[in-house]
Structure 1
């Protein structure tokens, strides 16, 4: 039976983490270990996690001496500290979602033909609202420099990808955590730029909890859209895309050289190639607006 390593980054997750871990342990036809890295927290997350550790031998907790400084860095630390050699696949997990019990089995089925997997999700709120988050549009030539494959908590990938990414990350770890915020965007860019095949599943394979503490969350509300607009206006988005390109030694790609790194003239170049840099039509329209008005 295939063996999967699940990496779970946690911080102040007491309210939801029990339900998430139970949904991971309920996976069908899967042999798995869960590695949890808990950043120093002010709630009873540690007590909740230790309850699982005492009951399940496949729940393992990494020793933490200092805070990572964010979810992305927490995942970078997990990738570096966990030995993947005995596993066939690696998966990311957030602390507050709910997995379908066939999530990993479906991923493994698709990974017989691909190297990396992600999926659509059903976002849900405490007031009962639910929305399908569709990230399964056709991949574009350079989309990996401008967006992730979807929520990182849906990612499952082959051991080879995990080991290659870990080796690459180890050489750059001290600086990369300062320059790149999102681990899932970076992994997608690494995989695509290294020729790995990525499948984005149109089926929603988990419930994606939305609350005030989401680092990114879904973009299906006015508040979320405003938050993302400010990230674009403040140049965070452009800086992140440029940093990812530079770390991956892609700075000579036309989309980077003549686009990202070329000021307002670069915006015109990006506008002319906008169909190659975002998968979803709505996102291409929004980005075009930002480029035309020099907000990006």
Structure 2
């Protein structure tokens, strides 16, 4: 039987999906900032991925524990953990569905702002800028609110998933999609936020990216990707592209969602004519022009590599 939560029916209700794993150093601060959200009623669905620290104890003993539903289904990574939550959580009783990391700090107005922008724009989903911060005190605004491009969803997310907020209809439709996905292909998905953005845009729904930063985005050694600030981090990202992982993810997402566009056709068939058609749309491949040009360059590199075997 699903756990029943007390609700304030006069406020918008939000289901927050949180993937946890060995996050006890930061979890209390994150939970406190979620439950401090203004003008909304928040409940958390947390799935723990086999923590060996005190993460579960913190969830169970938090002063708002009555508003936290905890499961312990091992998934083997943050992306799969979030997809598991999106597939299995009882979302139908909530007005909105949001995603949360275990280690950030949210501004009290984060949800109120998201709800206001969703209502004003009539969009189906929302994300925003974030402010990255490091243990040494450095802070940096990570800007994601560039104008949307025709095919950007093929090659990037809308930003960190911890900023995502979906309307109920969108969340339930995405949940239905995930439940119907072939499990072998869904298991290949590494980045839940990328496939969520790709599904929303690829199915003709609308997305609003806010130029507001609603959270402090904690950077540490355990970040799956995080914000790059070093040559080593940039080298790791280049490796993801050069070893084929990036385009494998893009193709897997496209096949799962059923994208029908020039970029998806090239990734699947690797034909020169499809590459040319894609490169003619190069500026539409990512929101930043420089990144779009880079993706176009790497697509051409990938084509040559696939034909010659050169790495």
User: What's the TM-score once normalised by structure 1's chain length?
Assistant: 0.93
Distance 2:262 2:279 in 1: 13
- C-alpha RMSD over aligned residues: 1.7
Instruction: Give the Å deviation of 1:150.
Output: 0.3
Equivalent residue, structure 1, for 2:50: 40
Aligned residue for 1:111? Answer: 118
Pair 1:182-2:198 in alignment: no
> Matches of 1:55 and 1:162 in 2, distance apart?
24
Structure 2 residue corresponding to 1:246, chosen from 235, 247, 255? 255
1:53-77 Cα distance to aligned partner (Å, 9 max, x none): x644212212x2x420111110111
Count of aligned pairs between the two proteins = 291
Of 260, 264, 272, the residue aligned with 1:256 is 264
Unaligned segments of structure 2, at least 5 residues: 1-10, 307-311
Alignment deviations for residues 234-262 of structure 1 (CA, whole Å, 9 cap, x no partner): 11111111111111122x422221x3234
Q: Indicate the residue corresponding to 2:5 in structure 1.
A: none
SS in 1 for 2:204: coil
Runs of 4+ in 1 over 6 A off after TM superposition: none
Contact map agreement 2:155 2:286 (CA 8 A) in 1: yes
Quote the Cα distance in structure 2 between the aligned partners of 1:282 and 1:25: 39
SS at match of 1:15: coil
Q: Which residue of 75, 79, 93 corresponds with 2:82?
A: 75
**1:225 counterpart SS class:** helix
Separation (CA, whole Å) in 1 of partners of 2:58 and 2:268: 47
Q: Determine the structure 1 residue equivalent to 2:36.
A: 26
Counterparts of 2:31 and 2:294, CA distance in 1: 37
For normalisation by structure 2, the TM-score amounts to 0.89
Question: What's the offset of the Cα at 1:173?
Answer: 5.5
1:3 to 10, 13, 24: 13
State the SS of the aligned residue for 1:14.
Answer: coil
Q: Does the CA-based 8 Å contact 1:260-1:270 persist in structure 2?
A: no
- Name stretches of at least 5 consecutive residues in structure 1 with no aligned partner: none
1:188-207 per-position Cα deviation (integer Å, ceiling 9, x unaligned): 11111112111000111111
Could you say which residue in structure 1 is the equivalent of 2:216? 207
Distance change in 2, residues 1:55/1:98 (3 Å): closer
Q: Distance in 2 between matches of 1:79 and 1:11?
A: 17
